[in-house]
Amino acid sequence: EKVVDKAGDAAEEVVERTSKVDDCLKDILDTSGNVSADKISKLRRGIQKGDFSFDEIKEISEKMSNLGITEEFESEMKKINFGEYLKNMEGPPPEDMFNPHAHHIVFKNGNGAVQQELVKQGQAVLREYGIDPILAEEVLTWAPNGIPGQHSVEPLREVVEGLVERAEFGVGKDDIDKFLQKMGRIASER
């Protein structure tokens, strides 16, 4: 009986989550088929405030992809105050961390052509594994900011090469998650 109750509760949760996601995406495209600036901006603010769980954000991201508006979605989501976002989703940074910031293990944009190409490669691998490169919990960690090397080419190259190698080897998502956790720990301890 308890197993049935738990299964029923889980099914209800999925239905509620899907309904909430569908409600927030209603009319995301205007009558011309363009992304509604007001709707996507409202969605960004809700995500930043913590109105959605990571599961809901993953579902939103998948639906944006299905609508063919991933680029517009990611462009808007990059405007998020990620410190506020991560604090709302996972709690505050460690008290003893120097100048903490919400750090993307695979950078959001990259500075200069080399970093931008690495970001493009790394984000492509993340998407192959169903990981939103901007919003997923797997890609964010608290890390010190202003530390030499934190945002340089070498740590980014190490992350991206590790992702590419693992993808070429055909590892599962769990292995990608473990690698991202490891690289997040390294960034947080710089």
Domain boundary residue among 80, 115, 141? Answer: 80
Is residue 1 scored above 90 in pLDDT?
no
Residues 23 and 101 in one domain: no
Tens digits of per-residue pLDDT, 62-93?
999 999 999 999 999 999 999 999 999 999 99
Residues 73, 91 within the same domain:
no
Same domain, 162 and 181: yes
71, 87: one domain: no
CB 76 within 8 A of CB 40: yes
Residues 58 and 32 in one domain: yes
pLDDT at 11: 52
Do residues 25 and 62 share a domain?
A: yes
Do 95 and 73 belong together in one domain?
no
Question: Are residues 154 and 148 in contact, defined by beta-carbon separation less than 8 angstroms?
Answer: no
The residue out of 58, 80, 102 marking a domain boundary is 80
Please, which pLDDT band fits residue 55 given cuts at 50, 70 and 90? very high
Note whether 17 and 104 are same-domain residues.
no
Considering its fold, how many domains does the chain have in total? 2
CA 167 to chain centroid: 18
Mark whether 92 and 178 lie in a shared domain: yes
Residues 103 and 161 in one domain: yes
Residues 146, 125 share a domain: yes
Q: Is the pLDDT of residue 20 over 90?
A: no
- The answer to whether 144 and 97 are in contact (CB under 8 A) is yes
Listed residues 39, 58, 80: the one ending a domain = 80
Distances (CA, A) of 95 to 74, 92, 143, 188, 189: 30, 8, 12, 13, 13
Domain span holding position 106: 83-190
Which pLDDT band, with edges at 50, 70 and 90, does 17 fall under? low
Pair (35, 113) in one structural domain:
no
- Give residue for tokens 């709707």: 39
The per-residue pLDDT for range 81-129, each reduced to its tens digit, is 999 999 999 999 999 999 999 999 999 999 999 999 999 999 999 999 9
CB distance 40 to 115 below 8 Å: no
